[in-house]
Structure 1
Amino acid sequence: MNRFIAVIGRALLAFGVLICSAHADPLDAKLDQFLQLTNQQPAQASALIQSLEAQLTADTPALTRARLWSYLGGDYRDRQDFAKAQHYVDLSLELAEQVQSEDIRAEALTDQLSLYRAQDQPGKARALVSQLQETLASANLERIRYYAANTLGNFLQAEDQYEQALQAYYQAFHAVENSKDPRTAVRKIYLQGAIAGLNTVLAQYQKADELLQAAITQAEEQAALNFLLPDLYLQLGVNFASQPKNAEAEQANQQGLKWARKLNNPYSVATLLNNLGDLRLKQGQYAEAVPLFVEAKQLAEQQKYTAMTLTAEFNLGYIKVLQGNYAEGLTQMAAMVAKARELQMADTELLSYVGELADAYGTAKAYADEARLLREYNALSQNIFKTDRDQEISALQEAFSAKEKAKQIESLQQQNQLKSAEIAQTQLQQRVMFLFGLVVLLATTLLYLLYRKVRNANQQLRHANDQLAYNSLHDPLTGLLNRRSLHEFMQKRTEQGERRQLPTATTDGFILLDIDYFKHINDHHGHAAGDVVLIEVGRRLKQLTRQGDMVLRWGGEEFLIVLRNLNQTALTNFTNRALQVIGSEPVIYQNVSIQVTASAGFLTLPFAGVDEHQLNWEKALKLADMALYMGKVHGRNRGYGLVALHRPYEELRAQLETDLSMPIEQGHLEITLVLGPPQA
């Protein structure tokens, strides 16, 4: 069980909008009051900001007006009223254009970035980053430079762009480095926590510990900063648990709980109780974990903290499963997964619940249900993967379009400069004929420089086009081909086959592979280790294939190999080699050996002599997917190949589209089994 909530904290995250301004208008003082209430009295803060819009007048300064709209939009965003939040962003962007203010524009673009994230639209958020960075460079107000850079850092960290995230955090730090604002200390502590969180993700645990300990010392020394302590200790506990150092994590969470109770911070109390319970659960101390989860659930229910209520109830169900009460525990866990779906929880959040429910079914030896949940887990993972890739391509295209427009503007400027130079040349010819030769030389030089600029611009344009084409067909993590590349290949393959109008004399092979227990690798070694495993498995598979074959990252932890012109025997032998090369040698990550195996499903195309108009490549891949999950159900580290049909395809079509077990049992579908290398 690994639902250990890694929260930087409700209070800390709120400091992303802790911004102040000079009191050019009486309304600014009330906006400052709103900020003071945000962390400790959110309900009162929301009521206050909603009451302030009526106080806007025609004389309200533009910066104050935009600041109020930013806070109103943030309040609606927190309440998931995204339409109203977007309304206030649009108002601020219009105002920025009217008064030509880069400060207002930077604040509005930062709000837009936060809104895209809240709506789970990372592709649109990515496309906005470069525009926000450019606008931020021209902003003057300290509060806005801090807010924008800090928000950028948080987003870039979530996107695994760690170097850029660190630069953004330091940019935020420099914005307030010499500030006399009363909240400067709070801002600096927040940034220490953010950079510490970044170091935790990168497994730089000692550096994270140093930053957090320094921040905790500062927060304990000043009473006005005590409210930061629950979340700082919470983050310190996450840092220790990631190593794992359970005793130190226990102590940090206990300290955070003490402060959260003292400060009457129910959200932090519930989260810390859950994390303490999770520590007990991981150590097999189920009796000690139960009261912690029960208290966390009760408190979350009182505060209408739905996500934590669901998490605690789910954890309690999992403990029942681990204690042998399978029926009741699995029913409870399944009910929470259903509740998560009712709440329309994002796929990224639902994925964890589905994966852990699958683990619980495995513990209860309910293998059919485990396979069913694993299929859903894989479908969710693929959907997230595909959505992210599509959004990345969209973001690349938008970014490329922006660059192209910038180059067009630059080209027009160059043309204007050239025309000005020609006019100057004519005037000089009329006035001083003696300088004619010099002017010609100058014009020639200018034209040459212009030619070089145009040539360089064209080269950059070609490079950008090449990069865009490459990124649209390749997985950014492993460098392998992606789904889109297969679609293009199969389309060309079909077109070529139709032009030939001849039956193919050879077959191609499809092997679908899924890394076994990949979730456990992420949970026990961290996502960075999971990335290393994916890269290394991709590298090993790539080394096995010939030129002309394809190795694709099909989604999440799934790989697809397309082998050209080979028969069933060669395909079976190749699958055996693939399982051996994956499972024979562990993957090394930070001096830790991670044993990796995979399950596979494979078949030829055309399959069993069936015409591809009846059983095309997409249907063939679904058959391979079902064969793969037979391997999951029957022990993993193995592959099942579909060899032949002993009845007409049309007669078996309905069975093959839903379940392979019946045609196999009836002898209508012939299969072959390939075992991976023995494991300790």
Structure 2
Amino acid sequence: MKLHWFALPFIWLLSFEAWGNLGNSNSSSQKEDLNKMLGHLTTQLKEDYDLNLLPQIRVLREQSKQLGEKRLQAKSLLLEGLIRQHFGDYKNSLVLHNDALNIVSGMNAPDLEASIYLALAQLEMSLERFRFAQQLLERAYTLITKRVSAEQVEQLLAEYALWQGTLHIMRGSYRQALSILSSVVSQEQKELSIKLALARAWAHLNIGEHLNASKLLQSVAGEKSALQKNLKLRVRYKLMSAMAFLQDGQFTNAIDEANEALGETFGTRFLTEQSMLQNTLAGAYAQLGDFEQAHLYLKRFAMTEQALNLQKRNNKLLQLEAQYTLAAQKQQLSVLEKDNALQAQQLIQHQQKIDNAHLAQQRGVLGMLLVALVFGFGYWRWQNKRYLTVLKQQVAERTAELAERNKRLQALSFTDSLTGLNNRHYFFSVIDAQVNSSAVATHAATSEKHEMIFCLLDIDHFKKVNDSYGHAAGDTVLQSVADILKQCTRDSDLVIRWGGEEFLMVMPNMTHAEATEAVERVRRQVECFPFVVNEQAIQVTCSIGFAPYPLSNEGGKSLTWEQVLELADNGLYMAKEESRNAWVGLKGLSRPFNAPTEQLISDYKKLISNGQLLASTSYET
């Protein structure tokens, strides 16, 4: 969760301009700074999809909007959409991509419009909606070949070929994929050239041509610097290499390569790669006759596939089911209304026929028939009202059923399946309301300062637990820690599975002294808890960092809750660096701090040492 050091000067510059000093600098210089900021963010995004990039991207978008730079604004929307897509937030990613497309549609920027269509195609491919992805790729190709300038065509055609070939591979058309992927070569960008080569190698391996795949992988192996920077490319390269060794009969090499790649996927969202690596390892061990290891990796492969299926169901199937149910209900109501109107029309026609027939009969018979008709009409009205009452009851029941389905769907998307705690998606949906509510409570307090405490907890040496006892043991530890946090917090506190072995606690209406007691209680409970894995007792400890909200500098400018969360993260890292099994809690400023807010974050430890930041620790400093 640390911010990269080289991005800090640009964040400071953009934040300073947002506070009202934009007019004091030259317009061309501002645009140049924004373009540099975009370049750095794009580079960081290629290396790691980090949620900490979101505040920087939003600052870039706001500044671009103030300067009227629509192109930069659209690119910032596209960057945020890619990050949200990586973390499974497909709904907001689609909204952001479409917002960028709306901005670009009024401009003469066919290259940027084609890039947005390619990004939307990637999103549809992630949801396995291949028909929509193909339509978007065709729109991008039309723009590239008919409207994009000559100097940009080669690069965009290479990107189009990459995703068109990938779509063919996902559909099983490997020969067609090879035809597309072999038609272009990207000389300008090494990363794109590597992606094209890996996609071709993937297609060759799927049709058993491991020699051709090996030649492509040898050419990729020469690009060590590009592979070192990009984790996903490195994992894909090692996966392809392991599959090629397996097909070539080099089973030991396949195992070594796959194990190395699998180790790099821990703590990431690369479930697809993990599944393929585990399947490759199972096949290699089976060929070597080590059926125990083969069975182990087959079990892990099955568990990963189950997680992938659950992820796909959460992202697509349940939403489609809810939409289908609503549409079906509306259609059924429409049919019932039409049927009711038809019955009424038929009854009126029948009544007219009876009236015409009775005119020719005697008055006595006519009177009797009229009485019978009135009675029949009254009975029909009664039956009709009764029918409508039943129909309304059915509609109410189906509406309640749909509401319950939507409620379950929302609960599923807001809950971490392993620990039962709320996840990041839930946190981002409620934190603004929590912060506003805490601000009102703090303003109303008169006797003692009450604050909202942001607290981050990380399990010490968790990787050793996974490596020594297996991932099932790690899951047991995570579940036990989650239970401890539930027991040690109040009903009003938020407890979040933040990711991996990290947990977030948001504790409103609490003093610093109460916060120290709470985190110390959590630390002791974790330290003393009898964790049992594989019928063996192990000791687990944790490190904690926390910070209060609100917090202000000398100019009266309050830090955002995102910045306070970063301060809590700095405290967590300081506790790990200094001691472990410890906590560091920020209390406030000892005196007014006349410096940019970002310096509080970057010089956290130094400011505590010289007394400008007041902090409590569970160890002697």
Scaled by the length of structure 2, the TM-score of the pair is: 0.44
Query: Relative CO higher for 1 or 2, CA cutoff 8 Å, sep ≥ 6?
Result: 1
Greater Cα radius of gyration, structure 1 or 2: 2
Scaled by the length of structure 1, the TM-score of the pair is: 0.41
